[in-house]
């Protein structure tokens, strides 16, 4: 092989053929391009073979006159379990790896000579597991062969099988779906299926367990009227003379059927000390008495099935008979001479109680006070007020500053506020129970 000698110096270069380089000079020898196999570069991105693994360069046109980097070649090698092969230099068009080229060079320090080999292509290597390659050669059983095997198996089952096996074979035949027969009707069925129409359900209807509201009025005082909470016959039967004549809170509370409500006690004090006319005071005191009667009936409800009708007046002392009968007819189910408050009627009773709280407190009531009287969690009481169409709100920053409350205290003192026209929340539909 002929060679070209180039004498190169760091700052000054001279040329010569066989001259010995002086101190500090390096002689660079560039070999000619070769069409045969020589040193190559291989890049293994994932699995790297051992250093003892042999590799061979294969060419699609070995008789060509093009140098090795210009030929369509492949570098391949294998171990006992893995095959390695290149994927970038055996195609007509350039691919990944052909946009750059590395040049190998060897430096001999004794002669200060750098030998460069220009014909060293770069190969990008990939690998393949031999076991997986062999498994891919075995194709699955053809569908026709499986169908033939199943038919022969069913014939044997019908001829020699038990009664249970024969029944199972017939059931499988009945349930078999011919997919090919459905191809012709698929498009027709898709055309018949139209878009789902959007159904406007309109506003949510009120529940049957709450007092009958006026959903069209824009005046909050007329959404739940007094007649929807308490019939006129029961209202007129309530005598509040003892409440009017009582001189202090203790005397007024002692005249009530249920005496453990701080809300009713404070509300009666404010009514008596207000500047309202006497008729207005008596009307409001009647509603306080009615709320106390509802709470007393709620407290008595667990023991109600064990009592007869004749025992009720003594358990609900001071309550008019008309009011007792009205509570039983609205909030209990009667079986013979026994009465029982079911889950449904108890929910209805709680709704009437919450609505009466709203009525007495000007349609805006503090949820915590109601929860304390009912011995329920504020969250559950808030949900009941929402069912009545109320909005559960937290005091604004101005109201908190005026009342001297921080945000945490204000969240504990949420209020249920009724606004008109009333809007009821949508019922949440629960999904199936996850097991």
Q: What is the pLDDT of residue 433?
A: 55
Q: Which pLDDT belongs to residue 256?
A: 92
Average pLDDT for 347-360: 95
Which residues does residue 99 pair with via DSSP β-bridges, in sequence order? none
> Angle at Cα 101 formed by Cα 99 and Cα 105, nearest 5°?
170
At residue 10, the pLDDT reads 38
Q: What does the block give as tokens for 166?
A: 């024969």
Give the pLDDT of residue 385: 93
Residue 195 pLDDT class (50, 70, 90 cuts): low
Q: Average pLDDT, stretch 332-343?
A: 86
144: which residues sit within 8 A by CB, 6+ positions away? none
Comparing C-alpha atoms, which of 282, 339, 342, 346 is closest to residue 316? Answer: 339
**Nearest-5° Cα angle at 42, 40 to 48:** 140
Q: Is the pLDDT of residue 304 over 70?
A: yes
pLDDT at 140: 53
What is the structure's pLDDT at 3?
A: 41
pTM score, whole prediction: 0.55
Q: Which pLDDT belongs to residue 322?
A: 93
Percentage of the chain beyond pLDDT 90 is 33
Q: Rounded to an integer, what distance in angstroms lies between the CA atom of residue 278 and that of residue 284? A: 10
- In whole angstroms, give the CA distance from residue 66 to residue 181: 60
What pLDDT was estimated at residue 143? Answer: 63
pLDDT band at 138 (very low <50, low <70, confident <90, very high): low
Q: Which has more confidence, 4 or 361?
A: 361
Residue 10 in tokens = 């760091």
Most confident of 52-66, 173-187, 363-377, 411-425: 363-377
425 pLDDT above the threshold of 70: yes
pLDDT above 70: residue 9: no
Pick the more confident residue, 71 or 357. Answer: 357
| pLDDT in the model for residue 16 | 43
Provide the pLDDT for residue 139. Answer: 52
At 67 the three-state DSSP class reads coil
Q: What are phi and psi of 352, to 5 degrees?
A: -65, -35
C-alpha torsion 295→298→304→307, nearest 10? 0
Under DSSP, the state recorded for 150 is H
Supply the pLDDT for residue 282.
93
CA distance linking residue 260 with residue 27, whole number of Å: 111
Confidence of residue 4 (pLDDT cuts 50, 70, 90): very low
Residue 161 has pLDDT above 90, yes or no: no
Poorest-confidence range of 2-6, 93-97, 134-138? Answer: 2-6
DSSP-derived 3-state class of residue 388: coil
Tally of CB atoms within 10 A around 64:
12
Whole-number percent of the chain with pLDDT over 70: 83
Rounded mean pLDDT of 376-396? 91
Query: What is the Cα–Cα distance from 387 to 206, expressed in whole angstroms?
Result: 8
Q: Mean pLDDT over residues 328-345, rounded?
A: 88
The pLDDT assigned to 347 comes to 94
Instruction: Check residue 181 and give its pLDDT.
Output: 66
Dump the DSSP string for 165-197.
Answer: HHHHHHHHHHH---HHHHHHHHHHHHHH--PPP
SS3 state at 149 = helix
The H-or-E segment that residue 384 falls in is helix 378-387
- Span 203-243, pLDDT tens digits: 778 888 999 999 889 999 999 999 999 999 999 999 999 99
| Range scoring the smallest mean pLDDT among 182-196, 266-280, 281-295 | 182-196
């Amino acid at each position: 092989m002929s060679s070209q000698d180039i004498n190169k110096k760091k700052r000054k270069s001279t040329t010569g053929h066989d001259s010995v380089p002086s101190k500090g000079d390096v002689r660079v020898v560039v070999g000619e391009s070769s069409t045969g196999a020589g040193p190559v570069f291989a890049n293994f991105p994932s699995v790297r073979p051992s250093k003892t693994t042999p590799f061979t360069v294969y060419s699609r046109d070995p008789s060509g006159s093009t140098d090795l980097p210009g030929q369509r070649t492949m570098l391949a090698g294998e171990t006992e379990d893995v095959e390695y092969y290149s994927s970038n230099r055996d195609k007509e068009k350039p691919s990944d790896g052909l946009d750059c080229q590395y040049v190998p060079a060897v430096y001999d320090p004794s002669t200060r000579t750098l030998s460069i080999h220009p014909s060293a292509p770069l190969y990008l290597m990939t690998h393949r597991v031999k076991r997986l390659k062999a498994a891919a050669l075995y194709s699955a059983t053809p569908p026709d062969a499986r169908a033939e095997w199943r038919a022969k198996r069913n014939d044997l089952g019908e001829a020699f099988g038990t009664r249970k096996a024969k029944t199972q074979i017939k059931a499988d035949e009945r349930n078999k779906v011919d997919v090919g027969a459905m191809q012709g009707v698929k498009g027709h069925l898709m055309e018949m299926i139209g878009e789902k129409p959007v159904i406007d359900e309109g506003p949510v209807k009120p529940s049957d367990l709450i007092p009958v509201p006026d959903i069209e009025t824009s005046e909050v005082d007329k959404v739940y009227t007094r007649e929807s909470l308490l019939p006129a016959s029961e209202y007129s039967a309530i005598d509040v003379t003892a409440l009017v004549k009582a001189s202090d809170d203790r005397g007024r509370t002692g005249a009530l059927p249920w005496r453990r409500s701080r809300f009713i006690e404070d509300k009666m004090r404010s009514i008596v000390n207000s500047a309202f006319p006497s008729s207005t005071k008596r009307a409001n005191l009647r509603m306080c008495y009615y709320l106390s009667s509802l709470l007393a009936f709620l407290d008595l409800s667990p023991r109600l099935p064990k009592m007869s009708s004749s025992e009720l007046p003594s358990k609900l002392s001071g309550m008019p008979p008309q009011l007792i009968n009205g509570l039983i007819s609205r909030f209990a189910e009667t079986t013979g001479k026994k009465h029982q408050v079911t889950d449904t009627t108890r929910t209805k009773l709680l709704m009437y109680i919450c609505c009466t709280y709203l009525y007495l407190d000007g349609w805006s009531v503090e949820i915590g006070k109601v929860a304390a009287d009912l011995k329920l969690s504020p969250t559950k009481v808030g949900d009941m007020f929402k069912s009545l169409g109320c909005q559960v709100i937290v005091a604004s920053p101005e109201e908190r500053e005026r009342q001297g409350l921080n945000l945490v205290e204000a969240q504990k003192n949420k209020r249920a506020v009724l606004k008109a026209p009333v809007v009821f929340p949508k019922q949440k539909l629960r999904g199936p129970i996850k097991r």
